[in-house]
Amino acid sequence: MARPRIYLANPLGFSELGRIALDEIRARLEIHFDVIEPFAYSADLGAQLQKLALLQLPLAAQKEKMQAINHQIGERNIQALAKIDLVVAILDEADPGTAAEVGYAFALGKPIWGYYGDFRLKGDNPATWVNLQVQYFVEASGGKMCLTLEELLGQLNRWRNEAWTGAQGEP
Protein backbone atom coordinates (compact mmCIF):
# COMPACT_ATOMS: atom_id res chain seq x y z
CA MET A 1 0.00 0.00 0.00
CA ALA A 2 1.27 3.47 -0.87
CA ARG A 3 2.14 5.70 2.04
CA PRO A 4 0.96 9.30 2.35
CA ARG A 5 3.58 11.94 1.55
CA ILE A 6 4.18 14.74 4.03
CA TYR A 7 5.92 18.02 3.35
CA LEU A 8 7.55 19.03 6.65
CA ALA A 9 7.55 22.85 6.54
CA ASN A 10 9.92 24.18 9.19
CA PRO A 11 12.66 26.63 10.11
CA LEU A 12 14.63 24.10 12.19
CA GLY A 13 17.40 23.43 9.69
CA PHE A 14 19.01 26.80 10.34
CA SER A 15 20.49 25.87 13.73
CA GLU A 16 22.34 22.94 15.25
CA LEU A 17 19.77 22.35 18.01
CA GLY A 18 16.98 22.77 15.50
CA ARG A 19 18.49 20.09 13.26
CA ILE A 20 18.61 17.68 16.21
CA ALA A 21 14.89 18.26 16.88
CA LEU A 22 14.14 18.04 13.17
CA ASP A 23 15.84 14.64 12.93
CA GLU A 24 13.71 13.33 15.81
CA ILE A 25 10.45 14.67 14.37
CA ARG A 26 11.26 13.37 10.89
CA ALA A 27 12.15 9.90 12.28
CA ARG A 28 8.84 9.72 14.15
CA LEU A 29 6.87 10.74 11.04
CA GLU A 30 8.75 8.32 8.79
CA ILE A 31 7.29 5.35 10.67
CA HIS A 32 4.02 5.80 8.72
CA PHE A 33 4.69 8.49 6.12
CA ASP A 34 7.08 9.39 3.33
CA VAL A 35 8.56 12.72 4.41
CA ILE A 36 9.86 15.50 2.19
CA GLU A 37 11.84 17.84 4.42
CA PRO A 38 12.98 20.99 2.58
CA PHE A 39 16.43 21.29 4.18
CA ALA A 40 17.28 17.71 3.23
CA TYR A 41 15.48 17.96 -0.12
CA SER A 42 17.66 20.90 -1.19
CA ALA A 43 20.79 20.08 0.83
CA ASP A 44 22.97 20.27 -2.29
CA LEU A 45 21.79 23.81 -3.03
CA GLY A 46 22.04 24.86 0.61
CA ALA A 47 25.66 23.69 0.65
CA GLN A 48 26.33 25.79 -2.45
CA LEU A 49 24.88 28.85 -0.70
CA GLN A 50 27.09 28.25 2.34
CA LYS A 51 30.21 27.91 0.17
CA LEU A 52 29.39 31.13 -1.68
CA ALA A 53 28.94 32.98 1.60
CA LEU A 54 32.45 31.95 2.64
CA LEU A 55 34.14 32.93 -0.62
CA GLN A 56 35.76 36.31 -0.96
CA LEU A 57 33.78 37.19 -4.08
CA PRO A 58 32.76 40.74 -4.85
CA LEU A 59 29.30 41.31 -3.43
CA ALA A 60 27.64 41.73 -6.84
CA ALA A 61 29.04 38.40 -8.10
CA GLN A 62 28.11 36.63 -4.87
CA LYS A 63 24.59 38.07 -4.98
CA GLU A 64 24.04 37.02 -8.60
CA LYS A 65 25.09 33.42 -7.90
CA MET A 66 23.00 33.28 -4.72
CA GLN A 67 19.91 34.61 -6.52
CA ALA A 68 20.11 31.74 -9.01
CA ILE A 69 20.41 29.18 -6.19
CA ASN A 70 17.61 30.83 -4.20
CA HIS A 71 15.36 30.53 -7.27
CA GLN A 72 16.22 26.83 -7.63
CA ILE A 73 15.40 26.16 -3.97
CA GLY A 74 12.07 27.98 -4.24
CA GLU A 75 11.20 26.09 -7.43
CA ARG A 76 12.06 22.74 -5.84
CA ASN A 77 9.90 23.51 -2.83
CA ILE A 78 6.82 24.39 -4.89
CA GLN A 79 7.31 21.26 -7.00
CA ALA A 80 7.52 19.18 -3.82
CA LEU A 81 4.40 20.82 -2.38
CA ALA A 82 2.48 19.90 -5.53
CA LYS A 83 3.37 16.21 -5.08
CA ILE A 84 2.52 15.73 -1.40
CA ASP A 85 -0.67 14.64 0.32
CA LEU A 86 -0.48 16.87 3.39
CA VAL A 87 1.72 19.39 5.16
CA VAL A 88 3.04 19.38 8.69
CA ALA A 89 4.23 22.84 9.67
CA ILE A 90 6.45 23.34 12.69
CA LEU A 91 5.32 26.71 13.96
CA ASP A 92 7.19 27.36 17.22
CA GLU A 93 9.25 29.94 15.35
CA ALA A 94 7.26 30.27 12.15
CA ASP A 95 9.63 32.06 9.82
CA PRO A 96 8.44 33.69 6.59
CA GLY A 97 9.45 30.63 4.55
CA THR A 98 7.33 28.29 6.66
CA ALA A 99 4.40 30.72 6.51
CA ALA A 100 4.75 30.94 2.72
CA GLU A 101 4.79 27.13 2.41
CA VAL A 102 1.63 26.92 4.54
CA GLY A 103 -0.11 29.54 2.38
CA TYR A 104 0.96 27.87 -0.86
CA ALA A 105 -0.19 24.44 0.38
CA PHE A 106 -3.54 25.95 1.39
CA ALA A 107 -3.93 27.44 -2.10
CA LEU A 108 -3.24 23.97 -3.54
CA GLY A 109 -5.99 22.51 -1.35
CA LYS A 110 -3.62 20.40 0.77
CA PRO A 111 -4.56 19.56 4.37
CA ILE A 112 -2.19 21.17 6.87
CA TRP A 113 -1.37 20.30 10.47
CA GLY A 114 0.43 22.82 12.63
CA TYR A 115 2.74 21.74 15.44
CA TYR A 116 3.23 24.38 18.12
CA GLY A 117 5.11 22.86 21.04
CA ASP A 118 6.01 26.15 22.76
CA PHE A 119 3.84 26.84 25.81
CA ARG A 120 4.13 30.62 25.28
CA LEU A 121 1.38 32.32 23.30
CA LYS A 122 2.82 34.13 20.29
CA GLY A 123 -0.32 34.68 18.27
CA ASP A 124 -1.90 37.93 17.27
CA ASN A 125 -4.40 37.69 20.14
CA PRO A 126 -5.37 35.24 22.91
CA ALA A 127 -7.45 33.16 20.47
CA THR A 128 -4.42 32.22 18.33
CA TRP A 129 -1.25 30.29 19.07
CA VAL A 130 0.59 31.66 16.04
CA ASN A 131 -0.05 34.30 13.40
CA LEU A 132 -3.81 34.34 12.84
CA GLN A 133 -3.55 33.90 9.06
CA VAL A 134 -1.24 30.88 9.41
CA GLN A 135 -3.53 29.34 12.02
CA TYR A 136 -6.53 30.03 9.76
CA PHE A 137 -4.86 28.17 6.86
CA VAL A 138 -4.17 25.19 9.12
CA GLU A 139 -7.70 24.98 10.48
CA ALA A 140 -9.54 25.86 7.25
CA SER A 141 -7.58 23.18 5.37
CA GLY A 142 -9.14 20.50 7.56
CA GLY A 143 -6.03 20.15 9.71
CA LYS A 144 -5.52 21.10 13.32
CA MET A 145 -3.12 22.98 15.53
CA CYS A 146 -1.38 20.44 17.77
CA LEU A 147 0.38 21.44 20.98
CA THR A 148 2.43 18.28 21.55
CA LEU A 149 4.29 15.92 19.26
CA GLU A 150 2.16 13.04 20.55
CA GLU A 151 -1.05 14.92 19.70
CA LEU A 152 0.32 15.63 16.21
CA LEU A 153 1.26 12.00 15.60
CA GLY A 154 -2.14 10.84 16.86
CA GLN A 155 -3.98 13.29 14.59
CA LEU A 156 -1.89 12.28 11.57
CA ASN A 157 -2.42 8.58 12.21
CA ARG A 158 -6.16 9.18 12.54
CA TRP A 159 -6.11 11.05 9.21
CA ARG A 160 -4.06 8.25 7.62
CA ASN A 161 -6.48 5.58 8.87
CA GLU A 162 -9.64 7.49 7.91
CA ALA A 163 -9.05 9.88 5.01
CA TRP A 164 -6.04 8.32 3.31
CA THR A 165 -6.99 4.66 3.59
CA GLY A 166 -10.52 5.43 2.44
CA ALA A 167 -9.26 7.46 -0.53
CA GLN A 168 -6.99 4.57 -1.53
CA GLY A 169 -9.91 2.13 -1.61
CA GLU A 170 -8.48 0.02 1.20
CA PRO A 171 -10.79 -1.70 3.71
Q: Is 142 left (phi over 0), alpha (psi -120 to 50) or beta?
A: left
Which of 24-28, 54-58, 90-94, 117-121 has the lowest average pLDDT?
Answer: 54-58
What would the mean pLDDT of 38-64 be, rounded to a whole number? 75
> In sequence order, what are the residues at sequence separation of 6 or more whose Cβ sits closer than 8 angstroms to the Cβ of residue 139?
145
Q: Is the pLDDT of residue 33 over 90?
A: yes
Q: Is the pLDDT of residue 171 over 70?
A: no
Domains of the chain and any CATH numbers: 6-129+138-167 (3.40.50.450)
At residue 167, the pLDDT reads: 66
What mean pLDDT is reported for the chain?
A: 89
What would the mean pLDDT of 123-140 be, rounded to a whole number? 94
Alpha carbon of residue 36 to chain centroid: 8
What would the mean pLDDT of 106-125 be, rounded to a whole number? 93
Q: How far apart are CA 87 and CA 41, in angstroms?
A: 15
H or E element at residue 128: none
Q: Which one is predicted more confidently, 17 or 59? A: 17
Cβ-contact 49, 55 below 8 angstroms: no
pTM above 0.85, yes or no: yes
